[in-house]
Chains A and B, each alone.
Chain A
Amino acid sequence: MPTNKVNIPNYRLLGKNYTTPDMVAKVTGKSKYAEDFRAEGMLFCKLLLSPLPHGRVKRIDASAALAMPGVKAILTADELPPPAPFITDDGVMIPADPRAERGLTNEPLYQGEPVLAVAAVDELTAAEAIEKIQIDWERLPFAVDPMVTLKPGGPNARTDGNVWVVPPPAPPKPGEKPAGPPLPQVQDFKWTDAEYAEFKQGKLPMSKPSMEWSYGDIEAGFKKADLVVDEAFVTPNTSHQCMETRTAMAYWQNGKVFVHCSTQSTAQTVPAIARWLSIDQTNVVVISEYTGGGFGSKVTSGISLTIPVLLSKKVNAPVMMRVSREEEHYIGRARPGFHGRMKAGFTKDGRLVALDMFVVTDGGPYGPQGDANSSGRIVSLCYTPENMRWRGVNVITNTPPRGAQSQPGGAQGVMIMEPVMNKAANKLGLDQVAIRRINAPAGKAGIGGAIKGKRDHVTSAFVQEALDKGAELFRWNERKSQVKKSGTKARGIGVAVSAYSAGSIGFDGLFVIKPDGKIYIQSGVGNLGTESMIDSHRVVAEVLGVPWEQCVVTWGNTAKHLPWTCPSGGSQTIHAMTRAAHATAMDAKQKLQEIAAMDLGGTPADYEVGGGRVFRKGGGAGLTFAQAAQRAIKLGGKYDGHEVPETVSRMTKASVTGLAGQGLLAAAKDKYKRDGITNSYVAGFAEVEVDLETGEYRIVDYVGVADVGTVIHPRAFGGQMFGRTSLGWGHALAQKWVYDQHYGAPLAKRFYNSKPPTILDVPVNNFKWAAVDIPDPETPVGARGIGEPPVGAGASAVLNALVDALGENIFRRAPVTLDIILTALETGKPGDDPLTAHI
């Protein structure tokens, strides 16, 4: 039960709990998610999924299906628009990628990939029609295990190779805009015989990489080291498994497509759909007021929504595509699993002086995932190795496409590095908290590799403070000396640190103060219920000095003139949108002051804003917001949006125009300076209890302390702390993919097989969170996001606690299920297969 209170001084609203405006609709069932919409004449579509892990369609015979009464149309990959180049708002050209995922395909790259869709009057008819379709297949080689495809002579998941390689970006030509990121290329990549021999010994070969970076002098670092730890670890592939699948419904009206979908970003889904369909983004309307979970898998919704969109165009009727839970397993994204190996050099006092990190990521068939690189960056930040080399191989497998999942790459990096920290502390006889404290980032700590000798740095880091606070709350020192074993149960404690990027910059804010005196705030952020979408706008009320009740937030429908905003993903919102909100509030303040000066004399600087009024400093004449709004309408121009600010992005400009004339319109882009990359940090402390006769264990206690700057909405924050930590626990406890390697087929498609944690699997009575409460110096209200770093901390603190309870020779991969523990206790050897994927 969180009894935690956050004390942010001097704020009227920030740091206080309140009820968000979406709650009543949610508790009464009136909130509408994508599948809750109906349209007259709506058809349903169903998907035909590939039975093969890799194959090519030779011939489709759908004649029997199309002859059925009630069947309206079939959509195949041939009817999808070809991949098209794309120009971003910043004018960067993203070239067309022929290898990119599309909604349907004639060369499925994983079992379950959608091949075609059938629209019919109802689902039953569509399903019967699918069963009547005959496809002739050409079978192609496949691999679902990255280790298998790396073996000499191993099969390749794509016909042209098995590893992604991203060429370095071309240097910008003088006088031209910088070129977009180069297209990833595919290579055929195999281990040498010697490396394969090492693999067969159960060791992950540190082969030649397909990407690498470094800083410092790693050789010199190892020379300095008193202890070298060489450890490998395997992390699971885990599906996002949002409660709401990526169901979508679409219809066309007057050349515009209306898409009801589930997305983390209403605003950013518009250009994504425009790009997938090769149409102008002004012809796309996205409606998504409530999103049933995303966790990174629905940043711009999913490309599968193009199926109902194109079918509805083809049959000229609304089409609903209900995505089933099994289909969601295929197209719903997942975190890539890692095979990682760390060679780490420590001095006697525990300082990490050299780190050689090597990872193999299982990236599925589409696009290189950023997880690999992120894992190295986060490890370089969390444990500040003096010298480091990071190398990775981004492997292509015939498994469902991956996507960012809360703390993408960071969680895996932490999970691979934490056992090394743990082992080093034990070997050196150091306290686990102490060794992390010694190596913790502080201030403008470095992150990532060096380019021309220079590394990036973060905005701020207060990890030592987080560790200290956590150790105190957890009573670490006290518990360290408790008895570990009692009868058939053993207890252990563990600590882990984690970090991740926690905020982007440069987005727009937009609101109108209307003649009713209320502030109508527009948001293009998806509503995932983390409430950052709403919470960030509390800054507007805070800056303008109005009660929150005077603010109305509009979201979820791009026909309602929304600004260009960040997605509710990557922990961006609370940072990016408090900045944008702040900038926009300042714009409103400026306009209010100007109007007041115009009407009441003096200069704008003579006026102050507060209490719903703009008034002369020190008291005296003023205008209410209602009056100022009416004046703004009269004044027109920039005051009511008839003059569009230059700085804001294309979408915001259109929205400003759409809202013009309704009141005092404030619109601004976040142009605040920021020195460094914004990251948040969590120190996690766990206690576990293991039943030595069954291998079962429970997390009996957990403390998480966050270094996130200013906490804006403590209750929502606490929910994120628990929720994201729990996602990490899931990775430690039971969540995974299982594949039959002979057929390349998934076996754990159902919840009862893939095992996301239930309420009885997590320490719902023994969880505490806290924040260090030091505002970030590089952002106006000092707030950073919290959605990512709890994951790695949650997973690794539990795994480290298991090591404390049972010793080091138990497991080499996560999740650690009871069979692994029991086998290890029984045989005295680690109870898991060291390297096979998806078991």
Chain B
Amino acid sequence: MEIIEFARSPWGQDVPIHISFTLIWVCGIAGLAFLIGHAIYVKFMAKPEEFEATLPEAAAKVPAKIARHSLASRLFHWIMAAAMFALLFTAFLPKVGFPFAWVTYHWIAGLVLTASILFHLIHANFFLDPWAIWPDKTDIEDAKRRLLRARGEAAPAPRKFAKYPLENKMYHCIIVLTGLSVTLTGFFMMFRVSTPFFTRNPYLFGDMTWGWMYVLHGLAGVGLIALIMAHVYFAIRPEKFAMTKSMVFGSIDREHFLEHHDPKRWVVTESSK
């Protein structure tokens, strides 16, 4: 199977033009396979995980409701989600047999996504703790412990998570990569079509540069199919549902906190938001 489609440029050069659109199906099926596999694994094979116990004096300080996502964060998340769905549908539905005039919606959604990401960058960096979402040393050490324990080998119990579980952080990493790829390439790709913002100029870059840009956009795009599928899947899994609710209502309750989070690593007070 071809991953990339090439075309002859007017100068007789073979340049990539975009991904092979069969990758839409490949990624869709891969996403589906992952979540079915994961569900089966969790249901039938996974051993319950044990974590280091939380010290009672630390636990005592934890309030009944812990703010997890500020209103701004939640708004950002849902706007981004809406944009992302709009982007995926406008991008791929016409390719899989549901033709409609998609281009304008696509770039408008792309702009919304870009704006929300810009907001998020500023908000997260200047108003929140920007490091909270990145894996730290403890995460990596604990990951080793969890892996060993999952394989039945001896290892100390891992600590509970800080604000975000490692999986969450890793997912964020991938989303950062793919998201930046699609938005950045997508931004330049707006020069290839007519928009109200600037003169259409498909010759902003050379044929080869454009070609790889389209390929990157496409790869990130189909990648997002699988990633979003996984994201939605985890969001509706019962053990993660509290987190999903927090993305709607903003907070988690004490029990959930103490079960999954380490108050030392996620320091919360009454006043914390």
Contacts and interface: CB of A to CB of B under 8 A. Distances in A.
**A and B in contact, CB less than 8 Å:** yes
Interface of A: 51-52, 137, 139, 740, 742-743, 745
7 contacts: A51-B10, A51-B13, A52-B12, A137-B11, A137-B13, A139-B11, A742-B203
B242 to A, nearest CB: 57
A766 B224 CA distance: 71
**Size bracket, chain B contacts:** under 10
Contact of B10 (A137, A139, A745): A745
Nearest to A55: B11
A202 B203 CA distance: 24
Interface-centre pick from B11, B12, B13, B203 (highest chain A CB count, 10 A): B11
Interface string B123-151: 00000000000000000000000000000
Nearest to A135: B12
Interface string B3-33: 0000000111100000000000000000000
A680 B102 CA distance: 65
B12 A51 contact: yes
B203 A52 contact: no
Contacts of A51: 10-13
Instruction: State the main secondary structure of chain B at its contact with A.
Output: loop
Interface in B198-218: 203
Given A51-B10, A137-B11, 7 more contacts: A51-B12, A51-B13, A52-B11, A52-B12, A137-B12, A137-B13, A139-B11
Q: Which 10 A-B pairs have the closest CB atoms?
A: A51-B12, A743-B10, A51-B11, A52-B11, A742-B203, A745-B10, A743-B11, A52-B12, A51-B10, A139-B11
A743 B15 CA distance: 15
A303 to B, nearest CB: 24
A745 B12 CA distance: 12
A52 B10 CA distance: 8
A51 B13 CA distance: 9
Nearest to A53: B11
Interface of B: 10-13, 203
A155 B134 CA distance: 50
Contacts of B12: 51-52, 137
A52 B11 CA distance: 5
Contacts of A740: 10
A745 B11 CA distance: 9
A52 to B, nearest CB: 5
B10 to A, nearest CB: 4
A138 to B, nearest CB: 12
A743 B12 CA distance: 11
Contacts of B13: 51, 137
Contacts of A137: 11-13
A233 B12 CA distance: 36
A137 B9 CA distance: 13
Nearest to B207: A743
Contacts of A52: 11-12
Contacts of A139: 11
A51 B12 CA distance: 6
Contacts of B203: 742
Contacts of B11: 51-52, 137, 139, 743
A139 B10 CA distance: 13
A332 to B, nearest CB: 21
A326 to B, nearest CB: 15
A137 B14 CA distance: 12
Contacts of A743: 10-11
B211 to A, nearest CB: 15
A742 B12 CA distance: 14
A51 B203 CA distance: 18
A726 to B, nearest CB: 34
A145 to B, nearest CB: 16
A742 B205 CA distance: 12
Contacts of B10: 51, 740, 743, 745
A139 B11 CA distance: 9
Nearest to B12: A51
A745 to B, nearest CB: 6
B26 to A, nearest CB: 31
Nearest to B202: A742
A773 B10 CA distance: 55
A740 B203 CA distance: 12
A745 B8 CA distance: 15
A287 to B, nearest CB: 37
Nearest to B203: A742
Contacts of A745: 10
A52 B203 CA distance: 17
B148 to A, nearest CB: 54
B52 to A, nearest CB: 63
A78 B230 CA distance: 61
A739 to B, nearest CB: 12
Nearest to A50: B12
B16 to A, nearest CB: 18
Nearest to A52: B11
A143 to B, nearest CB: 15
A52 B12 CA distance: 8
A713 B12 CA distance: 52
A161 B6 CA distance: 35
A671 B91 CA distance: 81
Nearest to B10: A743
B143 to A, nearest CB: 49
Contacts of A742: 203
B101 to A, nearest CB: 28
A740 B10 CA distance: 11
A51 B10 CA distance: 7
B273 to A, nearest CB: 55
B81 to A, nearest CB: 40
A444 B13 CA distance: 59
A737 B244 CA distance: 64
A326 B11 CA distance: 17
Interface-centre pick from B10, B13, B203 (highest chain A CB count, 10 A): B10
A756 to B, nearest CB: 25
A743 B8 CA distance: 13
B190 to A, nearest CB: 19
A592 B118 CA distance: 104
A139 B203 CA distance: 17
Nearest to A745: B10
A742 B11 CA distance: 11
A137 to B, nearest CB: 8
A62 to B, nearest CB: 16
A742 B207 CA distance: 11
A375 to B, nearest CB: 34
A743 B11 CA distance: 7
A217 B24 CA distance: 77
A226 B102 CA distance: 65
A745 B13 CA distance: 14
B129 to A, nearest CB: 49
A400 B13 CA distance: 21
A740 B11 CA distance: 12
A688 B12 CA distance: 45
A838 to B, nearest CB: 16
A593 B230 CA distance: 112
A740 B12 CA distance: 15
A832 B13 CA distance: 34
A504 to B, nearest CB: 44
Nearest to A139: B11
B196 to A, nearest CB: 24
A49 to B, nearest CB: 10
A139 B208 CA distance: 14
A431 B10 CA distance: 52
A721 to B, nearest CB: 43
